[in-house]
Amino acid sequence: MKIRYAVLQNDDDSVVANTAKNAIPEHIREDYLATRQRNVAVALYALSLVKSGVIDRLILPQDDTAGYGFNIAERRLLEAQVATEGLRERVLIYPGADEVMHTLSAHMVATLTAQKGTTFLSCPLTPPISVHTMHVMKTER
């Protein structure tokens, strides 16, 4: 709510955010924020491994969440780093953490069999689905 308030400047959101914040003991909030910072640091380090060639392809899936929150700011930071380092062809950041193992397995099968596979669609591709398909089929964005 605090981030939502910062974006929308709705006073009701500020009240809700402060009420929620005050309901959580400070040591728990601090631990949560430290964990998020550590996770971002690990992701940034993984990006450096992609840049140096240690990792050839990296997926940083995001939990499906609301449009406001720490995760959105973190995703934007990681996307900016990917763009700055010129890693867009080797790093994917997208919502759909639940599906990532299916995407990786399909990519492995496509790579090992040298087959692109067939895509059947009965509806338009939404961004997460198009990213999964692009990853499996090794196509450009």
Q: What is the DSSP letter of 26?
A: H
> How many residues comprise the chain?
141
pLDDT at 48: 98
pLDDT higher than 80, residue 70: yes
The residue among 48 and 9 whose pLDDT is bigger is: 48
Q: What is the pLDDT of residue 121?
A: 59
- Residues 115 and 56 occupy one common structural domain: no
Question: For the CA atoms of the chain, what is the radius of gyration?
Answer: 18
In terms of domains, do 109 and 87 share one?
A: no
For residues 68 and 1, membership in a common domain is answered with yes
Question: Range of 79's domain?
Answer: 1-95
42 with 86, same domain? yes
pTM over 0.95: no
Number of domains in the chain: 2
